[in-house]
Chains A and B, each alone.
Chain A
Amino acid sequence: MAIGESVPMLDSAARVTGAVQYMVNLQLPNMLVGKIVRSSVPHARLVRVDASRAEKVPGVVAVLSGADLGPQAIYGVAIKDQPVVALDRVRFVGEPVAAIAAESAEATEEAASLVEIKYEELPTVFDALAAIQPDAPVLHDPFPNNIFKHAKLRHGDLEAALAAADEIFEDTFTSPPAQQASLEPHVTAAQWHSDRLTVWTASQAPFMVRKVLAEIFGLAPEAVRVIVPSLGGGYGGKGHVRIEPIVAALARKTGGRPVKVVLSRTEEFVTVTKHAATITLKTGMRRDGTFAARRVTIYWNGGAYADASPLLVPAGMVRSVGPYRIPVVWADSYGVYTNLPPAGAYRGAMSSQTTWAYESQMDIIARKMGWDPVEFRLKNLLRSGEQFATGETLHDVHFAECLEAAVRGLEPHPPPPGAQRRVRVGEVRRGRGFAVMMKSTVAASKSQARLQLSAGGVLTLFTSTVEMGQGTHTALAQIAADAVGVPLSVVHVVGPDTAITPFDSTTSASRSTSMMGSAVMVAGKELRNKLIALSVPILEAPAEVLKAEHGHVAGPTESIAYADVLRHHGLATLEASGEYATTFGIDPESGQGVSTPHWHQGAGATEVEVDVETGKVTVLRYAAASFAGRVVNPRLAQLQNDGNVIYGLGPALFEEIIFDGGQAINPNLSDYMIPSFRDIPFELKSLCLESEEGELHGIGEMTLPPVAPAIANAIEDAVGVRIKDLPITAEKVLRALREKEG
């Protein structure tokens, strides 16, 4: 069995020798360097874009501006509102106004400085709550209140349930915009061969890119080929469609020469962000510590274009309720336009914001009602067979086991020696905090896999799942090996390349091991059936008595190696395909239905130290647990679980893009810090729970969303102050301590 083994990633040697061919290394014959010229103002009518001087710079081959494009060059995954390059208006600082293709980076830089742009500035709005006011400037005419998406959940009689509650808790929690900050930036290359387009791109969603490009350029999807190499991280930031449209449009002006655009770190901050969110929870409790009702109101700051938000805002609503037995739930989730860069998925998409809210409020309630925070959660956590607020019945849920595993991870024992050497000034106090998360995956999606066995004994898996560091190609190869009955050493993985590899919706929402893994299993079974059918005349036995396993088709008396079955029939290869699709969904008016094929589950427990003189919070210990169903590769699972906690420390404690007048003022990794070795608790452990049913779940995000609320809960346990606005900086903690002292 390959499944269950901690085999190293298939291309490990390449990963430690710098030989992975990321997009930045792509070289094509005659390739040009591309650069995007961006708006310097947050909202304006474009009076004039004059590229005539830029075009004369030696080495410049093409300059793209809105004048080159027609109205069909307005795209969007769900709402077509975003121009490939600004047409007559800009709506955020950093919006593409022109693009340059030249022989050298120096030529693009010089040309970029010579593009003359005349703006007529318009009123601006940056905050989602300000943008929904009647007098706010309107970003897109079809949405006069700036609300481009309103998702609703209506489960039970809210008014009556709140009226009957013994205690009402109402709290508002906020999360700021943040950056996915993969170390590899967005990189895309494009080349036209007459009316056929090839795009190489660091993307998590090759088929979504193909569909959108085909629509923009009026092509059949098959006329667009999207090739995706290994990514240097994604975390949602490379989901959906990013710079592919503008690079493809620029390449159309180069006379067939390929052009590649590599974004600078600064540009990353205006290309996609984590949604800023304001979440209000009004929760009615009964005296016995059970829930009566909950009302959720969320405003997501979507930025200037809807992008993927029309898909994420409803998902965020389902992810906002929390994993608790709440009989009556109403939720309203609003996606709002503002003059900020577009927001998109961010590891633990929308759950990072919602878990911050509902798990912070859990402790507020427990504290007020006199409950131990763990006992209070265990009393109310949903169990298998119970109904969620969408009306769906839960199966295979293990929220309580996740929480219990995390709590056990914090059992008392002496601190590790390294922690003793920390310099301490003044008074420090310790506290513990806990949090649980519940996240849907993509409700309706499809994965297809193709397996090809060669007469040479090699099994090739063709898949459009993107390898972005999560080790998915290794895990899928392990699944393929077992599904066909061959050793892992003969399995090769090819893809994604939309001309070669079959359809997959996206590599996101921790869906790949579950969805693509299931498609691989279907294909493997089909391949075995074909091998058995081909062996019937060779082994002279009926198919019913033949078994295909361990690389052989075996009958009652004889067996034959897979490769020999192919050779016997003169076949060079034998192929089989598999598909796995889900078709769930919820009713847009009531939010009732089935929102996910299975639930993602995770928990965290932490012990922190708070310096009451400076407000500084040190995370001393952290224990995390996620539910994996069945672990394909324990080490890769552990890396993702640990990685989620480490990633989550950033938005919990310090990550925030600060905008001043719409301009990001910390768009670099010096002023915008991400966690380093010095931020990681000396003791960090993570666990993957499995179940007897053995259903494959993803584990790409589950231990991230609990990090921030677990820390906030530990801070209140330590020093009695409640922080409701991320990130939890020393300044905020100190201010709260001063306010508490009066």
Chain B
Amino acid sequence: MTVLKANGVEREVDAGTRTLLAVLRDSLGLVGVKEGCGIGVCGTCTVLVDGEPISSCLMLAAQAAGQDIVTIEGLAREGQLHPIQQAFIEQGAFQCAYCTPGFVLSAVALLAENPSPSADEIREYLSGNLCRCGSHLNIAQAVIAVSQSDGL
């Protein structure tokens, strides 16, 4: 058995050779994370592992043992949405929202690394997350709204 710490809670799981995505969804009930492409190129399955955005479809659950895993369910604090989540609502930064948890977590990681990203840096950082509905402009606006940058 492997101990995984997800959203601050430690749980024993049968990791075996299963992916982190499969364990989060099927064993821990954290179904906000979803598979998009299954090969680590679309960002839909993004979670934070020790603060780094990773594709949970490519990582084995066992590799995440002892690290801090944050999923979309772990962002709100005391019933308050994370500022990025709030900004996504205010800026209308989603349509079907299948990709939204991944985008939100990547945006959280971006602003932790770089609190004042330029428009170009936002685009570069978020280019690993795909949105088929095409909500990109509003997503960028949401990140700018929470950042300390002037959007340039």
Which residues of A are at the interface with B, using a C-beta cutoff of 8 A?
Answer: 6, 8-9, 12-20, 22, 24-25, 181-184, 230-233, 235, 264-265, 416-418, 421, 468-471, 635-636, 639-640, 642-647, 668-670, 674-678, 680, 682, 684
Q: Which of B34, B73, B135, B137 contacts A684 (CB 8 A)?
A: B137
Does B54 sit within 8 A of A, measured CB to CB?
no
Residues of chain A within 8 A of B67, CB atoms compared: none
Residues B132 and A639 in contact, CB atoms below 8 Å apart: no
Does B97 sit within 8 A of A, measured CB to CB?
yes
Residues B73 and A470 in contact, CB atoms below 8 Å apart: no
Number of interface residues of B (CB under 8 A): 54
Cα-based distance from A668 to B35 in the complex (angstroms):
13
Does B72 sit within 8 A of A, measured CB to CB?
yes
Cα-based distance from A471 to B152 in the complex (angstroms):
30
Cα-based distance from A70 to B129 in the complex (angstroms):
45
Can you give 17 contacting A-B residue pairs, CB < 8 Å?
Answer: A16-B85, A16-B86, A16-B100, A17-B81, A18-B71, A18-B100, A181-B132, A182-B132, A184-B34, A233-B95, A264-B38, A418-B118, A639-B135, A645-B134, A676-B127, A677-B129, A677-B140
Residues B95 and A669 in contact, CB atoms below 8 Å apart: no
Which residues of B are at the interface with A, using a C-beta cutoff of 8 A?
Answer: 31-39, 41-42, 44, 71-73, 75-76, 81, 85-86, 88-90, 92, 94-101, 104, 118-120, 122-124, 126-138, 140, 152
Residues B31 and A25 in contact, CB atoms below 8 Å apart: yes
Cβ of A575 to closest chain B Cβ, rounded Å: 31
Residues A182 and B37 in contact, CB atoms below 8 Å apart: no
Q: Which residue of B lies closest to A266 (CB)?
A: B38
Q: Give 8 nearest A-B pairs by CB, closest first.
A: A18-B32, A469-B96, A643-B134, A232-B98, A646-B134, A15-B97, A469-B95, A18-B72
Residues B85 and A647 in contact, CB atoms below 8 Å apart: no
Cβ of A633 to closest chain B Cβ, rounded Å: 9
Residues of chain B within 8 A of A470, CB atoms compared: 95
Residues of chain B within 8 A of A646, CB atoms compared: 134, 136
Residues B127 and A678 in contact, CB atoms below 8 Å apart: yes
How many residue pairs, one in A and one in B, have C-beta atoms under 8 Å apart? 162
Cα-based distance from A545 to B21 in the complex (angstroms):
63
Residues of chain A within 8 A of B98, CB atoms compared: 22, 182-184, 232-233, 469
Residues B104 and A16 in contact, CB atoms below 8 Å apart: yes
Cβ of B93 to closest chain A Cβ, rounded Å: 8
Residues A643 and B135 in contact, CB atoms below 8 Å apart: yes
Cα-based distance from A212 to B36 in the complex (angstroms):
29
Given contacts A16-B94, A17-B85, contact A183 B44 (CB under 8 A): yes
Given contacts A18-B73, A636-B92, contact A647 B124 (CB under 8 A): no
Cβ of A665 to closest chain B Cβ, rounded Å: 15
Cα-based distance from A231 to B123 in the complex (angstroms):
26
Q: Which of A13, A230, A635, A682 contacts B81 (CB 8 A)?
A: A13
Q: Which residue of A lies closest to B121 (CB)?
A: A418
Residues B126 and A670 in contact, CB atoms below 8 Å apart: no
Q: Which residue of A lies closest to B88 (CB)?
A: A16
Cα-based distance from A25 to B97 in the complex (angstroms):
14
Residues of chain B within 8 A of A18, CB atoms compared: 31-33, 71-73, 100-101
Cβ of A606 to closest chain B Cβ, rounded Å: 16
From A417, A643, A645, A670, name the one whose CB has the most chain B CB atoms within 10 angstroms: A643
Residues of chain A within 8 A of B135, CB atoms compared: 639, 642-643
Residues of chain B within 8 A of A15, CB atoms compared: 88-89, 94, 97, 100
Cα-based distance from A670 to B38 in the complex (angstroms):
10
Residues of chain A within 8 A of B123, CB atoms compared: 418, 677-678, 680
Given contacts A183-B132, A233-B133, A646-B134, contact A17 B72 (CB under 8 A): yes
Residues A235 and B132 in contact, CB atoms below 8 Å apart: yes
Residues of chain A within 8 A of B76, CB atoms compared: 17
Residues of chain A within 8 A of B75, CB atoms compared: 17
